[in-house]
Amino acid sequence: MEKSKAVKRDSITTAKILSDALPHMQRHDGSIIVIKLGGHAMSSPEAMASFARDVVLMRQCNVNPVIVHGGGPMINEMLKKLDIPSEFVNGKRVSDAATVEVVEMVLSGKVNKSIVQAINGQGGRAVGISGKDANLMVCTQAEGDLGLVGDPHTVDATVVQSLINDGMIPVIAPLGAGANGETFNVNGDTAAGAIAAGLHADRLLLLTDVEGVKDAEGDVITSLTAEQVEQLTRDGVIAGGMIPKTQTALDAVRGGVKAVVIMNGQQENACLLELFTTYGAGSMIRA
């Protein structure tokens, strides 16, 4: 009898959650959501399968997810196997010709196709491309002695929009083309922000390993304007690795993205919590 009551309570709770999600689904109906997927979500088959399920559910609800992924740990592993030294300056990988060759092989090959396979395995229709395809991202060389590290100069999201219109889920490796035929390694957050702006996306979700932007007391700030982000940075409250993420968010909202959310991608169903519940997840930054 007690077991029957527990099942009934669980079923009622589930029904209530689904009912409460309706207005959020309606709000995001037909919208484009760009998701920056980091290595943490690919740390295990279980984590990857959970993320893929969320993405397929989003598409089933007529939300259009676009995945831009990283793959730093996988690149490090391959460089180590090939005995190619790796160096970082201000969080960016110094990329000579040999390094970029490995980066392209790992990102466009192993990592990209594993994400595509995971999404397709959950019933989705994912297609893997890189920023080089159809000149999606044409880059200039980044400042500093970083080698073939690129900053997006122009973004032509036509190919991504075409995939969305055909009901596909684009999965994009952060590589860019140079004006002279070079291949550029692009920071994953930077690439996601540039592509989101090029699509005029409704949301950019930056999945990280922290809960969001925190105030001086260490509490997560759930909502910020661009001006507040700049002030917190000047005050030293936003510091370290959070600076490039918030800078990506500022560039994105000023480029036409309605809002950027910095959130903990290690939390199960994080994307669904952000989009389809009143609670949200992480820190939302608006223009």
Closest CA to 167 of 123, 197, 198: 123
Mean pLDDT throughout 91-103?
88
Mean pLDDT throughout 254-276?
90
| Contact between 120 and 176 (Cβ < 8 Å) | no
CATH number of this structure's domain 29-286: 3.40.1160.10
* pLDDT of 43 strictly over 60: yes
80 exposure class (CB count in 10 Å sphere: 0-12, 13-18, 19+): exposed
Closest CA to 275 of 51, 26, 40, 14: 26
Helix (H) / strand (E) element for 230: namely: helix 226-234
Mean pLDDT throughout 249-259?
94
Q: What are φ and ψ of residue 187, in 5° steps?
A: -55, 135
Percent with pLDDT over 70 in the chain: 95
- Annotated catalytic sites, by residue? 36, 39, 72, 189, 245
Length of the chain: 287
Return binding residues for substrate: 71-72, 93, 185
Return binding residues: 71-72, 93, 185
Mean pLDDT throughout 130-145?
93
Q: Give Cβ neighbours of residue 68 (< 8 Å, ≥ 6 apart).
A: 34, 35, 36, 37, 172, 174, 188, 191, 192, 195
Closest CA to 71 of 99, 33, 101, 112: 112
Q: Which pLDDT band holds residue 195 (cuts at 50, 70, 90)?
A: very high
Q: List residues bridging with 151 in a β-sheet.
A: 140
**Domain ranges (residues) in the chain:** 29-286
Give the pTM: 0.90
Tens-digit pLDDT profile for residues 7-31: 455 777 777 777 787 888 888 899 9
**CB burial readout 198-237, b (16+ within 10 A) else e:** bbebbbbbbbbebbbbbeeeeebbeebebeebeebbeeeb
Rounded distance between C-alpha atoms, residue 174 and residue 163, angstroms: 17
More confident residue, 35 or 95: 35
CA torsion sign, 271 to 272 to 278 to 281?
A: negative
